[in-house]
Structure 1
């Protein structure tokens, strides 16, 4: 069972993105795609899930996220301005104390 804090936190993230049908969003560090699936089902927006793990992306695809990709968050393979919004939720960057300012937010956000 998830804590009330976690549930409220995830709800606030969904509200912050303001996703609508026809929108295109990017989740970086998607793991198995839980948040991407939730955003898509609640809003009708399309979501691209990205993770550095092939195993996680395979599970995301199995969960109905065909637009999923294995990629490094520092070198996202998307065009500038392609997405309406993006998020990276609790992403661990090995060997780094924080995400470098020149790579976040991704240039691919409109």
Structure 2
């Protein structure tokens, strides 16, 4: 009987630990979204500034061809980043939805114990 109570308590502690871990992962995923967006914007700004300096020394025809190619590259990079951010966001939301706190009273009562002293 004591073993059942100890195992029930251990099971409840493990369920709470799993719940808290899922909450932490979900929160970390949601915190990463703005950081990823800021990183993408800063990379874009640095790349554009570097390209402006480099492209000033080239002829107009070459400039426009390279600019079109770089715009395509940037679009594909931003599309890949958007897909990744959406995947992280959906994973975080799934973890958030899936994480419901365990029922400690119900678990212990099923095993014959109680949270309060008898």
| TM-score bin (small chain) | under 0.3
TM-score by length of 1: 0.20
- Tell me which of the two structures has the higher relative contact order, counting C-alpha pairs closer than 8 angstroms and 6 or more residues apart: 2
Bigger Cα Rg:
2
- Structure whose residues are more often strand by fraction: 1
TM-score normalised by length of structure 2 = 0.19
- Structure having the higher helix fraction is 2
